[in-house]
Amino acid sequence: MSREYSVYGLHVQTDAPIPALLPSVHTNSVDVRVWLNRMPSWWNSESSATDALFYRSPFVGQTGRPTLTVWELEKGGWYHLLYSDDVEFLVNPRGGEIWSRWPPGATLEDLTTYLVGPVLGFVLRFRGVCCLHASAISIGHQVIAITGPPHAGKSTTAAAFAKLGYPIVADDIVALSESDHQFLVRPGYPRLCLWPDLETPLYSAQSLPQLTPGWNKRYLDLTSDGHRFQPQSQPLSAVYLLDERQEAGDCPKVEPIPASSALVKLAANTYMNYLLDPGLRAREFPFLSRMASGLPVRRVIPHADPANLPKLCETILEDYKLLRL
């Protein structure tokens, strides 16, 4: 029996349940159909030698192979995504089809981690949806996005806001749409993913459930223990860019980023931009330019001591309130 879910503004139909996703309450047409641990009858992995290499990650996994390799298939519109642990996907991003397969020893949770992250992100980007690599927090029916380079603490900061009672709209992928001169954040799914080495005074990551049996990453369930998830789109009203942590006594602190620099900062922190061809990259620049000129983009310098994380949230909130005056 098929299941239907809503995530990142997509109406997704699957042939089996997906952990963490919220059931769709809409009856509109399906955007993406997903088959779990099944490949189409026309697929022949032996034919991959004739497919064009589209992307190879410069990073390697525990197997010594690239963490992700992508081929563009001879069959028009299709891409083959292979991860270093042999989880693989066939994706037609514009046609709205995803087939998947995991190897012996892997689990549905392993596959789901890729599916709700980079694979659906791949679909969104190829459909022209601008996505920030960020976390999004709802504050008074508006949204702030927390972005920054890898391991800057985006999800950890969002978890601190969740602990304070603020609803989370999205984590990792902040998918955006434009309507009536507003930039709307599409809701993701009710989990925050955290590495256990990012201990905070608010959460002991080791006490959180494992994201998958084979990974050390953990997740915070936003439907339990008083946490809240925002399942409706809300307008983005500010972007906070996490910079390098410092020991300075005046940290954490927030500084403005000039509009002339904001566009470059936003472009550098879009999701999976390494998979965009020049045409797709060029088409998103007008969108980002309107964001940079229409929204405040702020630089945040956290303190190096994790004990200052509550102060970081307080500093961002104080700055945001001044922006809203």
List the strands of the sheet with 32-35, edge to edge: 22-23, 3-7, 10-14, 32-35, 97-101, 88-92, 79-83, 68-72, 52-56
Domains and CATH numbers, the chain: 3-126 (no CATH), 131-324 (3.40.50.300)
Q: Using CA atoms, how far apart are residues 275 and 53, in angstroms rounded to an integer?
A: 12
pLDDT at 209: 84
pLDDT at 236: 98
Single-letter amino acid, residue 95? G
pLDDT at 141: 93
**93, 88, 116: which is closest to 103 by C-alpha?**
88
pLDDT at 76: 87
Is the peptide bond prior to 252 cis by the omega test (within 30 degrees of 0)? yes
- Rg, the chain, Cα only: 20
CB within 8 A of 238, min separation 6: which ones?
144, 145, 295, 296, 297, 298, 320, 323
Tell me the average pLDDT of the chain.
91
pLDDT at 201: 58
CB within 8 A of 159, min separation 6: which ones?
192, 194, 200, 202, 203, 220
Per-residue pLDDT of the chain (325 residues; tens, 9 = 90+): 789 999 999 999 999 999 889 998 776 789 999 999 999 999 987 666 668 999 999 998 888 899 999 999 988 899 999 999 999 999 999 999 999 999 998 888 889 999 999 999 999 999 999 999 999 999 999 999 999 998 899 999 999 999 999 999 999 999 999 998 899 999 999 999 887 665 555 666 567 888 888 777 888 999 988 899 999 999 999 999 999 999 888 999 999 998 889 999 999 999 998 888 888 888 899 999 999 999 999 999 999 988 889 999 999 999 999 998 7
What residue has token string 């990259």?
281
Could you tell me the CA-to-CA distances from 78 to 37, 123, 272, 275 in Å, in that order?
A: 17, 11, 18, 14
pLDDT at 213: 80
Q: Using CA atoms, how far apart are residues 283 and 168, in angstroms rounded to an integer?
A: 29
